[in-house]
Every structure is written in structure tokens, then in C-alpha cells.
Structure 1
Amino acid sequence: MTVRQVTRIAAARGGLRVDWAELWAYRDLLYFLTWRDVKVRYKQTALGVAWAVLQPVAAMLVFSVFFGLLARLPSDGVPYPVFAYAALVPWTFFANAVIQGSNSLVDQEALLTKVYFPRLLAPTAAVLAGLIDVAIAAVVLIAMLLIYGIVPTLALLTIPLFLVLACVTALAVAIWLSALNVRFRDVRYTLPFLVQIWLFASPVVYPSSLVPAPWNLLYALNPMASVIDGFRWALLGTAEFPGLRLLVSLAVVALLLVGGLRYFRSVERSFADAI
């Protein structure tokens, strides 16, 4: 008599602990999902990767007219267009990463219900895919610096650190919202509103120097404020180094990430049923 062996593939049991070894074992799948997200984003589009530039450039032009020319908001002594665009490069990445990452599990319903893989790979791949857009948008930023005669200092070398902070912040938020989105589809509809509010709560169209001193620590609870100030400090030499704000932002991101991972793990087993 032939004995049939049945192998059951499922998430490892271990409470709320993240299995980092398992995530590393699936690194090839992470690369595949990231590259697939990049290709799907621009598939059958007339302008292709040009959308990575058009979005921040269009926003920069609108902000320059309404906030720079008409409202005459200060720009720390640099031309308003480059002041705004230096903030829009990390902000556009963050906004798109949060939206794509939050919808990643729902968008991959067919994959989630058929095969097992670490579910954390879905929002992580969506966030990493946005880094391609940053690289493309940075080309325009370099051109603007040359046009306006702005020469960055050695502080430019810190840009990757602030980009990592933006990436981890987007991932922490996406982990929370992607898990919530599986159970509550209202999340998809509230995302654009949330991102819009977050935009004006960050120093994108205005310098953080306008924020009153007593509000500085409260303002630092928004990690993107430190990221944007860091970009402007490194590229334009305008804002001061975030300093204490950066430390507060790092603590906030750490809490968001740890809390998000614990919540994600606690509901991960029900994704295939709830989706």
C-alpha cells in the first residue's frame, strides 16, 4: 500500500515574533515582487516612467504660483521652485509608498489565497518599488540645482540616511494600514484624505522655521518633517540640521514599526479568509 505524505505549508507559529530567517529565505521573491510592482505601475502608459517626474514637477509649479508668488511664503532665501521641489522628491515617494503599500495585500488577493509566502513581503515590495521614482525625480532636482547655481556641501552625503528614514516611515505606516485594509475596506477610501492632510502637516510648501518654538517637539512627532528638513539642509543649506527633532522622529518611527509588526503578525493568519 502506498503511503501518501501530505506537506502543509503555513506561517510559522511563534506568537507575534517576526521570523527574520524566513523573510531572508524569501529574498528572491521580494526582488520579484518589487520588480513586478515597478513594471505594473507603468505598464500600458503613454508616458511611462516620465510620470515619476511629472507628478512632483506639476506640484512644484502649482505650489510656486500659489504659495511662492501669490501667498509669498518664505523659502529660506532660495528660489521657491527649488525649495519646493527639494521637499517634493521625498514627499512624493512617501505618499505613493504609503498608498501602494496599504493596498498591497488587497491588490494581491489572488496570490494570497493560493500560495503561502511571508505576507510582510507585499507592503515591503510596494515601498521599495517607489525608490525607482526617487532616482528618476532626482535627475530633475540636480538639473534645478545647476540652473539656480546652488552647490551642495558635503552634507549631501547624508541624503541616503534621510531617504532610509522616509522609507522606514512609509513601511511602518503601510504595515499598519495594509493589515487594517484587509478587514476594513474604508481604509482605501480614507487614504487620499490622510495623505493630503499629512502633506500640509509637513514643511513641503512652507519652511519649518514658521512653526513656533513651543510646538517644535510636537511637530517632530511627524517623521516626514525631519526628512524634508534633512533634504533641504543637505541640498540647499537652508534649514538647520534637524537635531533633536530627528531623535524624536526616530523614536516615533521605531514605535510605529514595532507596533505595526506586532499587529500585522497578530492578524496575518486571517488574511486569506478575510480578503
Structure 2
Amino acid sequence: MVDFKELWRYKDLLYFLTLRGIKARYAQSILGVSWAIIVPLFTTLVFTIVFGNLAKVDSDGMPYILFSYLALWPWNYFSGTLTESANSLVQNANMITKVYFPRMVLPLSAILSKLLDFTIAFVVLLGMLIYFGQVPGWGILFLPILLIQLLMCSLGIGMFLSALAVKYRDVKHALTFLVQLLLYAAPVVYSTSAVPEQYQSLYVLNPMVGVIEGFRAAFLARPMPWEWIWPGSIVAVVVFVFGMFYFRRMERIFADVA
């Protein structure tokens, strides 16, 4: 079982590892944290030109730039945390072999360090909402639920991949391909309503489907798509529990194979 009291006792280590992760990401960088604005903004512009203007992808009546940015905002956090957390144990092998601490602190710090980028990207979203005259609806009150679902899914998969990467170094190479593949398995450049109805019951099991569509509904004053959110939330809980217990099961061999 996971000892949450022990994790709490090491909260200072979690804080410093999170801070170290933020500093390391932007160390010796000319633009610094501006990359947290540049990457999602320019990706959104490319998607708007290619999918919104050229391919004429339906955006459910929303401005396509808002439609895609509200998807890329949580998606970039999800994909970034997968990469950071999956490599967290391998990159800190020296710590694992020399001193004891709850190993779960490493993928958890990787998840938390990406919250800075997530917050900065939110500032850009506010500017876009003001520009387009969009006022969030009451659905914004359910945003914490979507954030919890996003965090649980990210941490669950991150813990599983980080434990797997210690034993199988192929994970590092396969992860780039996996993230690109998952991008098109989520409604980032298209709407969930564009998926054929006979496949939607299976499609909504992807936790990111409910998160992305929920973000769009919350900030664009649309009804919350609970029929797309609750199936993914159940899967997110299962993924989180499975990833946590798999991590704990593999934890005893980390120092031997790191």
C-alpha cells in the first residue's frame, strides 16, 4: 500500500525537486518561461490555419482558434507530464541508489513542475476570451473536477511509465511516438461530436475526451457534456490506482536496475 503519511513527511523534498524541475527547464534559456506561451500559441495558430481554414474542420460554431487552444491547453500539460514523469526515475538514478526517500516523489514532482506552464498558458486564454468577447458560463464551477481528472490521469500513466522505463529503456524512445499518436486519439483538432455515434461509447473512455470537451464547455458557456466526462473520470480513477500500485510493486527493484 502507498504510505501517504510518509509522502507528507517528505513534502520539503517534493517542493525542492519541483522547484529544481522548473529551474532546470528554463536554465540558460533566452526566452525563459515565455516558452510556456510561445509553444501552445504557435501550435494553435498552425492548427487554425491547417485544420480550421484549409481542412474546414467543424468547430461546433466556436472560433477555431479558441476551439483548438482550449484543447491544447490541457493536452500540452498531459503530454508534457508524461514525458517528464516517465524519465524522472532514470534521470535521478544517482539519488535512488544513494539515499532513501519515497520514490513516488520523483514522478509527482515532475507532474507539479509542469503546473507553472499550465498557469501561464491560462493567462493567454484570458486574453483570447476578452478579444472574442466570450464570457465563461456556470460550467466554470466544475473546472476543479476536470483538473482532478486531468491530474489523476497524468499521474497514473506517469507512474506506470516511470516504473516501466527503469526496467525497459525502450519506453523513452517509444514515448515520443506514443504522445503524437494520442494527440489524434483526443478531440484536439476536431470535436467529439464528429466521431461516428457507434464509436462514441468506446471513444469517451479516453479520459482526455471529457477533460477537453469539459474545458471548452466551461469557458465558452456551453452545457457541460457529462455523458463524455463521467466515463473518462471512471477510467482516470482506475488508471491512477493501477499506476500507483504498479509503481509500488516495482519500487523495490529500482535501486538494482537504475
- Tell me the TM-score normalized by structure 2: 0.97
* Aligned match for 1:162, one of 142, 146, 156: 146
3-state SS of the aligned residue for 2:233?
Answer: helix
Residue matched to 2:235? 252
How far has the Cα of 1:154 moved from its partner? 2.4
RMSD: 1.1
What is the alpha-carbon distance in structure 2 between the residues aligned to residue 245 and residue 155 of structure 1?
14
* Aligned match for 1:142, one of 122, 126, 134: 126
What is the alpha-carbon distance in structure 1 between the residues aligned to residue 18 and residue 143 of structure 2?
22
Matched, 1:66 2:50: yes
More helix by share: 2
* Aligned match for 1:152, one of 124, 128, 136: 136
3-state SS of the aligned residue for 1:46?
Answer: coil
* Aligned match for 2:96, one of 109, 112, 117: 112
Residue by residue over 1:207-245, the C-alpha shift from the partner in whole angstroms, topping out at 9 and shown as x without a partner, is 11101222222111110011000000000135x423133
Residue matched to 1:194? 178
How far has the Cα of 1:52 moved from its partner? 0.7
Unaligned runs of 5+ in 1: 1-16
Residue matched to 1:29? 13
What is the alpha-carbon distance in structure 1 between the residues aligned to residue 137 and residue 237 of structure 2?
30
* Aligned match for 1:236, one of 220, 223, 236: 220
What is the alpha-carbon distance in structure 1 between the residues aligned to residue 142 and residue 242 of structure 2?
28
Residue matched to 1:10? none
Stretch moving more, 92-101 or 19-28: 19-28
> Which letter maps to 1:138?
F
Residue matched to 1:42? 26
What is the alpha-carbon distance in structure 1 between the residues aligned to residue 46 and residue 227 of structure 2?
32
How far has the Cα of 1:86 moved from its partner? 0.9
Unaligned runs of 5+ in 2: none
Residue matched to 1:124? 108
What is the alpha-carbon distance in structure 1 between the residues aligned to residue 85 and residue 2 of structure 2?
19
> Which letter maps to 1:83?
F
3-state SS of the aligned residue for 1:113?
Answer: helix
What is the alpha-carbon distance in structure 1 between the residues aligned to residue 34 and residue 49 of structure 2?
22
Residue matched to 2:244? 261
What is the alpha-carbon distance in structure 1 between the residues aligned to residue 23 and residue 7 of structure 2?
23
- Given that residues 207 and 235 in structure 2 are in contact (C-alpha distance below 8 angstroms), is that contact kept between their aligned partners in structure 1? yes
What is the alpha-carbon distance in structure 2 between the residues aligned to residue 259 and residue 149 of structure 1?
43
Q: Quick check: which has more Rg, 1 or 2?
A: 1
> Which letter maps to 1:260?
G
Q: Number of residue pairs matched?
A: 258
How far has the Cα of 1:256 moved from its partner? 1.2
Residue by residue over 1:11-34, the C-alpha shift from the partner in whole angstroms, topping out at 9 and shown as x without a partner, is xxxxxx111111111111111111
What is the alpha-carbon distance in structure 2 between the residues aligned to residue 123 and residue 27 of structure 1?
14
How far has the Cα of 1:266 moved from its partner? 1.3
> Which letter maps to 1:173?
I
Q: How high is the sequence identity, in percent, across the aligned residues?
A: 47
> Which letter maps to 1:243?
W
Residue matched to 1:216? 200
What is the alpha-carbon distance in structure 2 between the residues aligned to residue 18 and residue 178 of structure 1?
16
- Given that residues 135 and 221 in structure 2 are in contact (C-alpha distance below 8 angstroms), is that contact kept between their aligned partners in structure 1? no
* Aligned match for 1:93, one of 71, 74, 77: 77
- Given that residues 52 and 64 in structure 2 are in contact (C-alpha distance below 8 angstroms), is that contact kept between their aligned partners in structure 1? yes
Residue matched to 1:205? 189
Residue by residue over 1:224-274, the C-alpha shift from the partner in whole angstroms, topping out at 9 and shown as x without a partner, is 011000000000135x42313322112211211111122111111111110
How far has the Cα of 1:55 moved from its partner? 1.0
